[in-house]
Amino acid sequence: MEYVALTGISDKTIQELRDHILRTLEIRSPHNFFTSLKLDVGDLIYLTTTCAQDITNGTVGVIGRVISHQVVTHRIINGTGIFYEERETMMVRIQLQPVRTARIRKVLSNHIGKVTRVDAEEISFYNAR
Protein backbone atom coordinates (compact mmCIF):
# COMPACT_ATOMS: atom_id res chain seq x y z
CA MET A 1 0.00 0.00 0.00
CA GLU A 2 1.20 3.55 -0.72
CA TYR A 3 1.97 5.87 2.23
CA VAL A 4 3.29 9.38 2.80
CA ALA A 5 6.53 8.97 4.80
CA LEU A 6 8.09 10.98 7.61
CA THR A 7 11.78 10.13 7.91
CA GLY A 8 14.53 10.68 10.47
CA ILE A 9 12.17 10.40 13.44
CA SER A 10 14.07 9.66 16.67
CA ASP A 11 14.25 6.10 18.06
CA LYS A 12 12.62 7.25 21.30
CA THR A 13 9.70 8.84 19.44
CA ILE A 14 9.09 5.70 17.35
CA GLN A 15 9.25 3.50 20.47
CA GLU A 16 6.81 5.75 22.37
CA LEU A 17 4.47 5.68 19.40
CA ARG A 18 4.62 1.87 19.29
CA ASP A 19 3.92 1.74 23.04
CA HIS A 20 0.94 4.12 22.64
CA ILE A 21 2.61 6.73 24.89
CA LEU A 22 3.36 9.50 22.40
CA ARG A 23 0.53 10.78 20.25
CA THR A 24 1.43 14.30 19.08
CA LEU A 25 4.45 15.18 16.93
CA GLU A 26 5.66 18.69 16.15
CA ILE A 27 7.23 18.68 12.71
CA ARG A 28 9.79 21.44 12.10
CA SER A 29 12.43 19.87 9.87
CA PRO A 30 12.05 21.07 6.27
CA HIS A 31 11.98 17.63 4.59
CA ASN A 32 9.15 16.43 6.87
CA PHE A 33 7.40 19.82 7.01
CA PHE A 34 6.58 19.86 3.29
CA THR A 35 5.40 16.26 3.47
CA SER A 36 3.23 16.79 6.55
CA LEU A 37 1.53 19.88 5.06
CA LYS A 38 -0.32 17.57 2.65
CA LEU A 39 -1.76 15.32 5.37
CA ASP A 40 -5.44 15.15 6.27
CA VAL A 41 -7.24 13.66 9.26
CA GLY A 42 -7.72 9.93 8.69
CA ASP A 43 -4.65 9.50 6.46
CA LEU A 44 -2.28 6.62 7.14
CA ILE A 45 1.41 7.61 7.21
CA TYR A 46 4.69 5.71 7.46
CA LEU A 47 7.27 6.85 10.05
CA THR A 48 10.85 5.63 10.24
CA THR A 49 14.07 6.47 12.09
CA THR A 50 16.05 6.21 8.85
CA CYS A 51 16.98 9.56 7.28
CA ALA A 52 15.44 10.55 3.95
CA GLN A 53 18.62 9.87 1.95
CA ASP A 54 18.98 6.34 3.34
CA ILE A 55 15.47 4.90 3.05
CA THR A 56 15.41 1.92 0.74
CA ASN A 57 13.62 -1.37 0.17
CA GLY A 58 13.40 -3.24 3.48
CA THR A 59 13.48 -0.18 5.76
CA VAL A 60 11.27 -0.88 8.79
CA GLY A 61 8.93 1.67 10.35
CA VAL A 62 5.54 2.29 11.93
CA ILE A 63 2.22 3.08 10.26
CA GLY A 64 0.10 5.67 12.07
CA ARG A 65 -3.34 7.20 11.46
CA VAL A 66 -3.61 11.01 11.59
CA ILE A 67 -6.14 11.95 14.28
CA SER A 68 -5.48 15.71 14.29
CA HIS A 69 -3.54 18.09 12.00
CA GLN A 70 -2.69 21.76 12.60
CA VAL A 71 -0.30 24.28 11.09
CA VAL A 72 1.03 26.56 13.84
CA THR A 73 2.93 29.85 13.50
CA HIS A 74 5.21 31.10 16.28
CA ARG A 75 6.28 34.73 16.43
CA ILE A 76 9.52 35.52 18.26
CA ILE A 77 10.54 39.09 19.07
CA ASN A 78 14.03 39.87 20.34
CA GLY A 79 15.19 43.33 21.12
CA THR A 80 17.30 45.80 22.98
CA GLY A 81 16.54 49.46 23.53
CA ILE A 82 17.07 50.55 19.91
CA PHE A 83 17.06 47.31 17.89
CA TYR A 84 14.20 44.84 17.47
CA GLU A 85 14.14 41.64 15.46
CA GLU A 86 10.97 39.72 14.67
CA ARG A 87 10.93 36.17 13.33
CA GLU A 88 8.16 33.76 12.51
CA THR A 89 8.50 30.01 12.37
CA MET A 90 5.97 27.44 11.27
CA MET A 91 5.47 23.87 12.36
CA VAL A 92 2.91 21.18 11.77
CA ARG A 93 1.41 19.38 14.76
CA ILE A 94 0.01 15.94 14.03
CA GLN A 95 -1.65 13.65 16.50
CA LEU A 96 -1.21 9.98 15.63
CA GLN A 97 -2.72 6.65 16.52
CA PRO A 98 -0.31 3.73 15.90
CA VAL A 99 -1.68 1.07 13.55
CA ARG A 100 1.00 -1.48 12.68
CA THR A 101 4.66 -2.12 11.86
CA ALA A 102 5.59 -2.11 8.18
CA ARG A 103 8.51 -2.56 5.79
CA ILE A 104 9.17 -0.54 2.62
CA ARG A 105 8.77 -2.48 -0.64
CA LYS A 106 9.64 0.47 -2.88
CA VAL A 107 10.49 4.18 -2.51
CA LEU A 108 8.13 6.03 -4.87
CA SER A 109 9.23 9.65 -4.30
CA ASN A 110 12.07 11.07 -2.24
CA HIS A 111 13.04 14.52 -3.57
CA ILE A 112 13.78 17.68 -1.58
CA GLY A 113 10.73 19.96 -1.43
CA LYS A 114 8.36 17.18 -2.53
CA VAL A 115 6.19 14.75 -0.61
CA THR A 116 8.06 11.57 0.35
CA ARG A 117 6.01 8.51 -0.70
CA VAL A 118 6.69 4.81 -0.18
CA ASP A 119 5.02 1.51 -0.95
CA ALA A 120 5.09 -0.54 2.25
CA GLU A 121 3.73 -3.86 3.47
CA GLU A 122 2.56 -4.85 6.94
CA ILE A 123 4.97 -6.99 8.95
CA SER A 124 3.40 -9.87 10.83
CA PHE A 125 5.11 -10.69 14.10
CA TYR A 126 5.87 -14.22 12.96
CA ASN A 127 7.43 -12.83 9.75
CA ALA A 128 9.46 -9.91 11.23
CA ARG A 129 13.18 -10.02 10.59
Dihedrals φ, ψ of 69, to 5°? -145, 125
Pairing verdict, β 60-79 and 117-122: unpaired
For residue 84, being part of any structural domain is answered with yes
Q: What pTM was estimated for this model as a whole?
A: 0.84
For residue 33, being part of any structural domain is answered with yes
The CATH number of the domain holding residue 56 is: 2.30.130
The domain of 44 spans 2-122
Give the residue, 19 or 47, on which the prediction is more confident. 47
For residue 129, being part of any structural domain is answered with no
Which pLDDT band holds residue 77 (cuts at 50, 70, 90)? confident
For residue 40, being part of any structural domain is answered with yes
The Cα–Cα gap between 85 and 106 comes to 45
Q: Which of 25, 35, 27, 33 is nearest to 5 (CA)?
A: 35
User: How many structural domains are present in the chain?
Assistant: 1
Pairing verdict, β 44-47 and 60-79: antiparallel
